[in-house]
Amino acid sequence: MLIANCERAVGETVNIGSNTEISIKDLFELIKEIMHSDANLTLDNQRLRPEHSEVFRLRCDNTKIKALTGYEPFYTLRKGLEKTIEWFQNTNNLAKYKVYIYNL
């Protein structure tokens, strides 16, 4: 990993991400499209972000890791989702997936 070999990153907080954002609704719609699904999204008003929340948007700013290492995301969000869905659709992979523990 580039970051592990970067002396200038020692002691730094570095975000690793795509520098883009997507709403949960749009993420749902993208996954639905990739999977050719007719699933419906159900909204739970109790789980909505409060109107005056201190956090309105979430986006990983990868400027620092780019400056330190030259890192660029390998996959777009769509391509990463396609690869992840493909992996989970393979029954041999599912046999390796441990549903009873928190997986990273």
pLDDT band at 104, cuts 50/70/90?
low
Tokens of 74: 């390998």
Q: Is residue 38 part of a domain?
A: no
Residues 6+ apart with CB under 8 A from 55: 49
pLDDT band at 63, cuts 50/70/90?
very high
C-alpha dihedral, 50 to 103 to 93 to 78, nearest 10°? 30
Q: Is residue 3 part of a domain?
A: yes
Q: Is residue 68 part of a domain?
A: yes
Q: Is the pLDDT of residue 90 over 80?
A: yes
Q: Is the pLDDT of residue 1 over 80?
A: no
3-state secondary structure of 67: helix
Q: Is residue 8 part of a domain?
A: yes
Q: Is residue 84 part of a domain?
A: no
Q: Is residue 51 part of a domain?
A: no
Q: Domain count for the chain, please give it.
A: 1
Q: What is the mean pLDDT of the chain?
A: 89
Q: Is residue 64 part of a domain?
A: yes
Nearest by Cα to 72 from 60, 62, 58: 62
Q: Is residue 48 part of a domain?
A: no
pLDDT at position 27 = 95
Q: 13 lies in which domain range?
A: 1-20+59-73
Would you say the pTM of this structure is higher than 0.85? no
